[in-house]
Amino acid sequence: MRIDYDEITRTIAALTAGESDAVALMATVVCELHHADDRFDWTGFYRVTGPEMLKIGPYQGGHGCLQIPFSRGVCGAAARSGEVQLVDDVEAFTDHIACASSTRSEIVLPVRDGQGALLGVLDIDSDQAAAFTQTDAERLSEIVAMVFGRL
């Protein structure tokens, strides 16, 4: 099953309307996304909890890393650069952190509030190589901006 971005965007918009708690929003978004696409093996947020530090937030899938510094891994690169990280082969990514040995590819998106402050990153892992596309990056970015940009 592949994600229907138009449908999931409408669903997430309806479910999150009026909510202002970032963790509640993250939990809802991750639940909806994780179950919308067979490629999504692990779906979760890492929240900014201190200077240059991400800690695991709401997620679905197996255990994740509890904390990730901005200086390490794909999640750290997204937090550090403020840019979407689209990684076809995690083994080829310098300094990749293997939270799960089954992960083959990954997409990580920065999550910002309406004032532009970094709240964290949305991390989606797949057990398939090259699972994610530029379309995924664009449409997931739209969903993240829609939900968290109003905070």
The range of the structural domain enclosing residue 13 comes to: 5-148
d(CA 32, CA 3): 10
CATH number of the CATH domain containing 29? 3.30.450.40
Task: Walk across the sheet containing 105-112 and list its strands.
Answer: 67-69, 53-60, 42-50, 118-126, 105-112, 85-87
The stretch 126-141 carries a mean pLDDT of 97
Q: What local confidence, expressed as pLDDT, does residue 9 receive?
A: 98
CB 121 within 8 A of CB 77: no
CB 84 within 8 A of CB 74: no
Number of domains in the chain: 1
Q: What is the per-residue pLDDT across 71-130, written as a single tens digit (0 to 9) for each?
A: 999 999 999 999 999 999 998 887 777 777 788 999 999 999 999 999 999 999 999 999
Question: pTM of the full predicted structure?
Answer: 0.96
